[in-house]
Structure 1
Amino acid sequence: MQTPKASFRSLHYSVSQSLNLPIFRFVRLKSDLACLYLRPRTSIDVGDNNSNLISSDIRFAVGSITIFGSFNQFLWCAPEELASIYFLRGNTEELPSACFLRRSQKISPRVVRQLKTSPRYSDHTASSSNQASRAPKEKSPKVADHRSPRSPASEKRRPSRVSELESQVSQLENDLKIVKDRLCSTEELKKQAQKDAEESNQQLLALSLKLEESQKQLLEQSAPKEVLCEITEERDEKLQSELEAIRKQHTSDSAALASALDEIKQLKAQLEIVAESEATHSKNSEAEQDELLKLKENLSNTLLLVEDMKNQLRDSKESETQAQALVGDTLVQLEAAKKMVEMLRSDGLKATEAYNSVASELDQSRARVNFLEELVSKLKADIDSGGSKDSQSEGDDLKQTTQESLEMEVNSVKLEVERLRSALEAAEVRYNEEQAQSAEQIRNALQMVEKIKSASGQREAELESELRKSKYEIEELKANLMDKETELQGICEENEGLTVKLENTLSGHGEHELEKMLQKSNAEIENLKVLLMDKETEWQHISEENEKLKLEIKEMMKGKVSDEIVSDIESARSAEREALMKIGYMTEEVDKSNRKAARVAEQLEAAQAANAEMEAELRRLKVQSDQWRKAAEAAAAMLSAGNNGHLMERTGSMDSNYSPRTGKISSPYADDLDEDLMKKKNANMLRRFGVLWKKPQK
């Protein structure tokens, strides 16, 4: 069943991003063959006008996956560094997907031949338009860091970025040294070319002298004048043609020298530009180092503040221990006062009991006295009322006896009453004394309680002042944290600007790492903000709890003094614990800020390393231009060497003797001179050319 034609929409991702997409699975053969594959359908028709890359006429299958297009069309229609992901949106149940994977260089000899024409430096950016419009760059064999296509395993096995950056820095230093050496060599070659020009001028002068001598010799010879004139004219024409050729060659050599001088000036200007850029980079690095020093100073100031807070906490702990000792002493004194009060109460109870017993005895004695008085009155009445005469004498006797006995009892009762009165008076005196002592002790206890209350009030005031100080310091630390956050935001913005510059200038190596670092820093800043909000809420809760404790203290002031002291101690301990927790949180925030500063420094180092890589690319281009310039100079030297050889051949014929038979001038040493000079010149120029050709390939 044929599905309807799909509408095409392309979305571009890098290789690292595409590996994280859940809808893809990659076809990987032994040589990591890259191809376009589709799923879930085995046959999907794609319109011809949707994409230049996809054609529905050619298709082949790998397993259960249908692949559209041929190797030449799909594997090599894009540049080597292209790694793009394409989505095909169709009318199917599940969206089909297609992707290009990175090619390896082990597919076929035909592929290897095509790879040679592709650019050697891979670009990991995701924009395919920039990739397609970029012209392939010709690189010399000097550049040694040809990046091969990476697989995820090779990306996992690569060394750390720090070691790579150090190696790149060392390589850049070596490249600078090589460039300086080559500049010295170019200056030496310029001097040598000037010497060669001077030698050629001297040779021209020598040739002119030889011409004059030959003309004199011809005039002196005994040949016919007409023949001599013809011969001299011919020789003059030849010599003039040779002189014109030599002059032309000299002009060409001078033009080559002028071009070489212009190239040297351009290279010097480029070196000056590079030096200026290095100076600007050094200034930027110094400014960044100054900013880091400022951050370190701020961190040291915060650490000093934390140390001051710790010292204040230690002082508060010491004062609290002293207050606890005073509270313990007052508690001991209160217990002693309580014991004294209890003893006084027990003594008062005993005195009241004795007083009650004495009063009861007095009541009994009074009742007995009253009873005896009643008996006496009765006896008097009996004596007065009746009695016989006989009994008068007996009555008188009984009366006397009873009166005596009653008087004795009354006296004894009076003695007892006096004794009881004296005992009552003594008991009253003793009771009054004990009451006065107990009142004095109670007054002393109340005074001690008032002193303890005043001390506790002072302690509360001190604790409140310390809490205010801690709140003020916390606000200052919050302000410092906000300043640091603003500084970190500025640094993050600078890092974003650097990342944008690096994206515009470099190939995008390390882009995802910088983005991850920036995301982590932003997440950490958000975490700090959340922690600050949590601390503010905790501070509010603590303030509410302190107010509640104050209310409870005011309510407990009506109760017992010991309960107030215990509540004060507990509130002081809770405040101390809260202060310790706050200091712990502040130390954690300081550590986090230190870590952030270290991460920012690492990001700055990475940006500097990226700038160094850009400088390395510029230096490589300079090296390549030097190589081409030196190759051109070597070719010019070869050509000038060949012309010099022909010149020597021609000058050798000038020093010979003239033979009228052949119409030419022959010399007995012409062959030897020509062979020796040609061999020497050719050998010297071949050596120079070989040296110049080998130098760029080191």
Structure 2
Amino acid sequence: MKPRGSKTQLDMVVESEASQTKHVESVHAELQGLRLELTETLSLVEKMKIELSDTRESEAQALELASKTQKQLEEANATADMLQGDDVKAMEVYKSLSLELEQSRAQEKSLEELVSKLQADLANINEKMVKNPTGDVQVSHEIVENEETKQLNAEMNLLNLEVGQLRSSLEATEARYQEEYIQSTLQIRSAYEQVERTKLESGQREAKLETELKKAKNNIEELRANLMDKETELQGISEENEELTLKVEKNKPSERESELAMGLKKLEHDLAELKASLADKEAQVQRVAKENETLRTEIKKGEIEQSKVNDEAVTMAETARASEHEALMKLGYMTEEADKSSRRAARVAEQLDAAQAANTEMEAELRRLKVQADQWRKAAEAAAAILSTGNNGKFVERTGSLDSNYNRAAGNMASPCSEDMDDSPRKKNGNVLKKIGVLWKKGQK
């Protein structure tokens, strides 16, 4: 019944260890899940950081593009201002050329009037010459008038040349002015169109950039909010992880120590039971030894009871053999139980080697008891053999006593021999008892 109790206790230890391992595995699984969630949150945070850096880069690119468009707009405004200045200059040149043209036209009119006057004077002179064809005074006067007419004609030709030159220069200036005016107007129109296009493009780009900037800001805010949420969640997970690790670290040694303590207590209980059974076996051996002592005392009582003592010794030897066989059977069963308990104790923990050492010591003690029992068995067999030889001596002694009654003289003559024959089995029995005592002392040692 006791080994079964130790077996149930060991089964309970194994079950508690299995439940503890299941609890540890569940805690380990929870830690693995938390680690997976932590890695997922960290990867999400890394993605958010990458998206945040991308949005920052896009924001920087948008700002750079806005600065470029602002520069282009400023350049377009500068070109428009330059073209307006060129237009003003062209208008001033046109005004100056128009003034010069008007002045040249006024000079032309004055020259035409002078030519018309000279022509009228020349016609008057010719008429006068026709009316007065004779007279010196008139001839000299005519010569002077001819010279004056020649000069006037030369001046007229010069004036005509100047007028032609002025007309040609005026036409050239008008043509150049028209070309410059057309070019300036075209340039101004193209500049205005370019300015309008740049304004529209810059407005569209600014609108797009503003929308993108708003989206980027919104995304940044969302990412920041998500990042804060994830950071808080990560912090909570890390705190939970730390708490779980602390709990696991706290529970592991205490639970392990409690398990080891329980296992040690159970093993100590089993060892106590085994020691008790061993004490019972020792008591049985002591009882056998006491019986052997009583046997020796009965052998010493007298030669008359030697047959009875011999029978009792045989019966005691048989009982000793039976008890030895029973002890061996129980010893085998106990050794099997000890082996089972040692194996279970080894599975419970490696720290229970001391119990196994105790089991080995117990097995050594049981082997010693087995050897001692073998020695007692051999001693009992030797005693039985000696007692059998002692019975034969008694028979001889009895025959000798009959012969002495038949012939007293011969009996008196043979009495020393009979005393010697009586003394020899006693000496043998004493030697046998001494040997048994030596064997008993060796067994105790």
Superposition TM-score, scaled by structure 1 size:
0.37
Deviation, 1:363, is 4.9
Within the candidate set 276, 280, 288, 2:31 is matched to 288
Please tell me the residue identity of whatever aligns with 2:23: T
Contact 1:330-1:452 at 8 Å conserved across structures: yes
Deviation, 1:431, is 0.6
Hey, what does 1:265 align to over in structure 2? 8
Please tell me the residue identity of whatever aligns with 1:462: K
Contact 2:299-2:305 at 8 Å conserved across structures: no
Residues 1:443 and 2:443 aligned together: no
Alignment of 1:611-650 (within 5 A): 611-649=251-289
Higher helix share: 2
Residues 1:276 and 2:22 aligned together: no
> What stretches of structure 1 of length at least 5 have no aligned partner?
1-256, 496-599
Please tell me the residue identity of whatever aligns with 1:276: S
Hey, what does 1:84 align to over in structure 2? none
How has the CA–CA distance of structure 1 residues 360 and 692 changed in structure 2, closer, same or farther, with 3 Å as cutoff?
A: closer
Please tell me the residue identity of whatever aligns with 2:309: S
Match of 2:227, SS state, is: helix
Residues 1:403 and 2:149 aligned together: yes
> What stretches of structure 2 of length at least 5 have no aligned partner?
129-134, 339-353, 362-445
Pairwise CA RMSD of aligned residues?
5.4
Q: Distance in 2 between matches of 1:334 and 1:375?
A: 60
Residues 1:412 and 2:52 aligned together: no
Alignment of 1:256-405 (within 5 A): 257-258=1-2, 260-310=3-53, 360=103, 363=106, 391-405=137-151
How has the CA–CA distance of structure 1 residues 352 and 367 changed in structure 2, closer, same or farther, with 3 Å as cutoff?
A: same
How has the CA–CA distance of structure 1 residues 481 and 319 changed in structure 2, closer, same or farther, with 3 Å as cutoff?
A: closer
Alignment of 1:33-182 (within 5 A): none
> Identity percentage over the alignment?
25
Q: Deviations over 1:291-324 (max 9, x none)?
A: 3212322322332344345556667777888899
Deviation, 1:643, is 1.7
Please tell me the residue identity of whatever aligns with 1:642: E
Contact 1:658-1:666 at 8 Å conserved across structures: no
Contact 1:659-1:666 at 8 Å conserved across structures: no
Within the candidate set 244, 248, 261, 1:608 is matched to 248
Q: Distance in 2 between matches of 1:448 and 1:407?
A: 59
Hey, what does 2:233 align to over in structure 1? 487
Contact 1:365-1:417 at 8 Å conserved across structures: yes
Q: Distance in 1 between matches of 2:234 and 2:71?
A: 52
How has the CA–CA distance of structure 1 residues 640 and 630 changed in structure 2, closer, same or farther, with 3 Å as cutoff?
A: same
Q: Deviations over 1:363-405 (max 9, x none)?
A: 5565666678889999989x99xxxx97444334333432343
Contact 1:630-1:692 at 8 Å conserved across structures: no
How has the CA–CA distance of structure 1 residues 323 and 402 changed in structure 2, closer, same or farther, with 3 Å as cutoff?
A: same
Contact 1:351-1:431 at 8 Å conserved across structures: yes
Deviation, 1:636, is 0.5
How has the CA–CA distance of structure 1 residues 328 and 492 changed in structure 2, closer, same or farther, with 3 Å as cutoff?
A: closer
Alignment of 1:178-257 (within 5 A): 257=1
Q: Deviations over 1:413-454 (max 9, x none)?
A: 234224313321332122112101111111112222222222
Deviation, 1:648, is 2.3
Match of 2:280, SS state, is: helix
Hey, what does 2:217 align to over in structure 1? 471
Structure of higher CA gyration radius: 2
Q: Distance in 1 between matches of 2:60 and 2:221?
A: 23
Deviation, 1:650, is 5.9
Q: Distance in 2 between matches of 1:304 and 1:365?
A: 88
Deviation, 1:627, is 4.6
Match of 1:612, SS state, is: helix
Q: Distance in 2 between matches of 1:444 and 1:469?
A: 36
Contact 1:369-1:410 at 8 Å conserved across structures: no
Match of 1:666, SS state, is: helix
How has the CA–CA distance of structure 1 residues 342 and 396 changed in structure 2, closer, same or farther, with 3 Å as cutoff?
A: same
Q: Deviations over 1:647-685 (max 9, x none)?
A: 4236656898897778785339959979x999999xx99
Hey, what does 1:667 align to over in structure 2? 310
Hey, what does 1:459 align to over in structure 2? 205
Match of 1:667, SS state, is: helix
Contact 2:86-2:184 at 8 Å conserved across structures: no
Contact 1:337-1:445 at 8 Å conserved across structures: yes
Contact 1:358-1:424 at 8 Å conserved across structures: yes
Please tell me the residue identity of whatever aligns with 1:446: Y
Deviation, 1:267, is 4.0
Contact 1:334-1:445 at 8 Å conserved across structures: no
Please tell me the residue identity of whatever aligns with 2:4: L
Deviation, 1:455, is 2.3
Please tell me the residue identity of whatever aligns with 1:422: S
Q: Distance in 2 between matches of 1:432 and 1:645?
A: 149
How has the CA–CA distance of structure 1 residues 693 and 282 changed in structure 2, closer, same or farther, with 3 Å as cutoff?
A: closer
How has the CA–CA distance of structure 1 residues 364 and 339 changed in structure 2, closer, same or farther, with 3 Å as cutoff?
A: same
Deviation, 1:618, is 0.9
Q: Deviations over 1:106-138 (max 9, x none)?
A: xxxxxxxxxxxxxxxxxxxxxxxxxxxxxxxxx
Contact 1:657-1:666 at 8 Å conserved across structures: yes
Hey, what does 1:199 align to over in structure 2? none
Contact 2:80-2:191 at 8 Å conserved across structures: yes
How has the CA–CA distance of structure 1 residues 635 and 658 changed in structure 2, closer, same or farther, with 3 Å as cutoff?
A: same
Q: Deviations over 1:312-355 (max 9, x none)?
A: 66677778888999999999999999888888877776676666
How has the CA–CA distance of structure 1 residues 329 and 453 changed in structure 2, closer, same or farther, with 3 Å as cutoff?
A: closer
